[in-house]
Every structure is written in structure tokens, then in C-alpha cells.
Amino acid sequence: MMGATADLAGKHALVTGGGRGIGAAVARALLAAGARVTIAGRDANTLAATARELAALGEIGCATLDITDADDVRAVFARIGRVDILVNNAGQAASAPFGKTDEALWQRMLEVNLNGTFRCTHAALPGMLDAGWGRVVSVASTAGLVGYRYVAAYCAAKHGVIGMTRALALEVAARGVTVNAVCPGFTDTDIVREAVANIAAKTGRSEAEARAELAAGNPQRRLVECDEVANAVLWLCLPRSGAMNGQSLAVAGGEVM
């Protein structure tokens, strides 16, 4: 991870899904760069444990937040004050053949991955525009850039995030705010561990074989590390990255070019 700096001193960052995995790694990177960080998510105990772990790096707070609840999003943003840096990391992945993708699964993927990203961005943006500076970075997945079998709903939602990123980036381009996305490939997170267990259960393969199958899509023949994604997010948030706008960066070892 990039060395400790004070590049983001005085900035307040909110990281959704910040209690574990990529979100916790992003929080760590932003703290090391001098930002004050609020991590948000639905599990208060997980958030508190992560905050204790990261407290030595800087000022960190927690906010219990359900991004699928519009009232909750409004209340949390009103309580925590202006957000200079928003990292839309919270998300879920569910798989099913298209013929078995029912209305409930489809709506759940859109609600968490797309609508939740919209709600948080909508809440954070006015303060950024008033300040004349802001960074919005959404963790969108390579599923927002290409198609994958058996995850049509997830792909649709993540493609939507990238479409929103591009459109909003143009709207705010001259107002000191940048809007970008980071698109990890299969990353060593709870979501991938759940996918590995699901593949093993359904196919009879071992978890090691299932993990290797997911890693095989990466030309580097490995899973991406959370800190590698966090480095990309941090870079997009830095003041000297102001010319980066409307981009969707694949962090996937060359899987998507």
C-alpha cells in the first residue's frame, strides 16, 4: 500500500461496506493518507471491531447504515456531516441461471448494488458541490465492464453503476468533483469465499479447485488482493488525481483491457 502521507488531511471520507474486505482496506488507505474516515454498514459489531483495529492510524468513526433504505441514508448523512470523499463499496453478489433468476433476486441485486450507490451519491453530492471539491469512487467490479454467466442481475446492476458514473462525471466536471469507478476482478473477500463454497457444494469439486477456477480468469493466475483495490481507490481520491474523471479502472491482472 502507498506510504503514509497527509494528502487528504482535513477531508472526511465515508466508506460503505467498510467493516471488512475491500471496504476495510480502503478505510485503512484513506486513514494513512490523513483523511478522517467513517465506515458504514449494517453490522454494528463488525464496524466497531474494524474501527478499533484501525484507530491507531487516525480518526475513524462508525455509522450503521442500510443503503437499501432511503430514509436511513438521509438520516445517516445528516448526522455525520459533509462528506468530501464517498466510496460506494457496499454490495452483494448472487448467482443463478437466467431462467431461475426470479423477480426477487433481480430486484435485490439492483437495490443493493445500483440503487444504494445512487442514494449515497445523491446524499453526498450537494456538500461536495458547495465546497467545490469532492471525490466519488464506486467499487463496481469487472462485471460492470463485461458479461459473466449466471450473474445477469449482478452484471446489470454493476453496468448501471458505471453508466451512472460516466453521466454524473460529465455533470460535475467543471465543479471540482470527480466521479470514477474501480472494477476489481475476483478478489479475496467474503463474497468470493461464499462463491467458492457454493461452487464446491454444487459441483462436488474441492474448495481449492473452485478457488483455482475463479483465479484462472486472471492472467496472473491469482485472486486480487483487497489492498490492491484500495490502492486504486486511494489514487483516485488524491488531489493530484483531479484529471481522472468518468473512468472505470479494472483491477484484475489484465483480465479486462
Q: For residues 86 and 23, give the distance between their C-alpha atoms in angstroms, rounded to a whole number.
A: 11
Does the pLDDT value for residue 79 go beyond 70? yes
Using an 8 Å Cβ cutoff, are 60 and 39 in contact?
yes
Candidates 19, 46, 29, 14; CA nearest to 229 is 29
**What's the pLDDT tens digit per position in 127-160?**
999 999 999 999 999 999 999 999 999 999 999 9
Does the pLDDT value for residue 10 go beyond 60? yes
Query: 12-185+226-249: which CATH architecture?
Result: 3-Layer(aba) Sandwich (3.40)
How many residues are present in the chain? 257
Q: For residues 118 and 38, give the distance between their C-alpha atoms in angstroms, rounded to a whole number.
A: 19
- Choice among 106, 118, 154, 186 that is catalytic: 154
pTM to 2 decimals? Answer: 0.93
Residue 154 known to be catalytic:
yes
Residue keyed to cell 484500495: 230
Quote the Cα angle for 10-127-110, to 5°. 110
Candidates 46, 10, 9, 2; CA nearest to 28 is 2
Show the cell assigned to 120.
449515497
**What's the pLDDT tens digit per position in 211-221?**
788 888 899 99
**What's the pLDDT tens digit per position in 107-131?**
999 999 999 999 999 999 999 999 9
Candidates 55, 148, 42; CA nearest to 89 is 42
Q: Per-domain residue ranges for the chain?
A: 12-185+226-249, 186-223
Does the pLDDT value for residue 71 go beyond 80? yes
Q: What percent of the chain has pLDDT over 70?
A: 98
Helices 207-215, 190-203: inter-axial angle, 10-degree rounding: 120
Q: Indicate the helix (H) or strand (E) that contains 26.
A: helix 21-32
